Amino acid sequence: MPKLALVIDDLGQNPTRDGRVLALPGPVAMAILPDTRYATSLAERANAAGKTVMLHLPMAPADGPYAWQPQLQPGELARRLDRALSKVPHASGVNNHMGSQMTDRQLPMTSLMAELQQRHLFFLDSRTGTRTVAAAVAQRIGLASLSRDIFLDDDPSPAAIAAQFQAALELARKQGSVVIIGHPHTSTLAVLERELPRLQDAGIDWVDIGQMIATRGNRAMVAHGAGGIYR
């Protein structure tokens, strides 16, 4: 069966919306921002519920005390990663929040992937910029990693989100798997609450991030590279 993995970003800000994500019935991965009021408590709840917890690491143009920014020295970047991970306990992986001005830089991405490898954490490239090298660097060092295929809600209207969800299913059927990122918008959650219970009948296997990493074996999809190698 074609496989689907789902990540919801930007969590930790709103208990009501966070609770709706937590209540989704399957293996949703919850990417939690470290600089939010409810980051730590949500990570604890998500872990207790058997959900995959991820650190949603801010990167430039994002700012704030945890954000990775081009002007920072390697030591400060490492300290920010440490502090961010302490705010999001039980994280088994990391993905970038924003990051179009950071994921295109070889040296900090090489440093990040080496840090994650030492900590036995995976990386998901959110692909917020067309020049990202993050997944390519992860692949070169053999770090368990993935790349996002589809954003559900760049357009947050219900019709657009529903269309993106159907496009994701078609992509899964075409290439065997799909990695989706969404956000806790009311409209996104309404579509997911309606559509996720229908996946089995649609012939789609909803899997957790760990199984998707194993399924793809660190190989790039066609949109992200050639011959399984990231561009």
Query: Which pLDDT does position 155 carry in this prediction?
Result: 98
pLDDT of residue 101: 97
* pLDDT (tens digit per residue) in 185-214: 999 999 999 999 999 999 999 999 999 999
Closest of 140, 148, 142 to residue 164, by C-alpha: 148
Residue 61 has what pLDDT?
98
pLDDT at 73: 96
CB 110 within 8 A of CB 137: yes
- What single letter denotes the amino acid at residue 5? A
Instruction: Report the alpha-carbon distance of residue 100 to residue 68 in Å, rounded.
Output: 11
User: What are the structural domains, with CATH classification, of the chain?
Assistant: 3-230 (3.20.20.370)
Question: Which pair of tokens denotes residue 27?
Answer: 């293996």
**Could you tell me the pTM of the whole model?**
0.98
pLDDT given for residue 153 in this prediction: 98
Residues 47-83 have pLDDT tens digits of 999 999 999 999 999 999 999 999 999 999 999 999 9
For 81-121, the three-class secondary structure string (H helix, E strand, C coil) is: HHHHHHHCCCCCEEEEEECCCCCCCHHHHHHHHHHHHHHCC
Report whether 149 contacts 179 (CB < 8 A).
yes
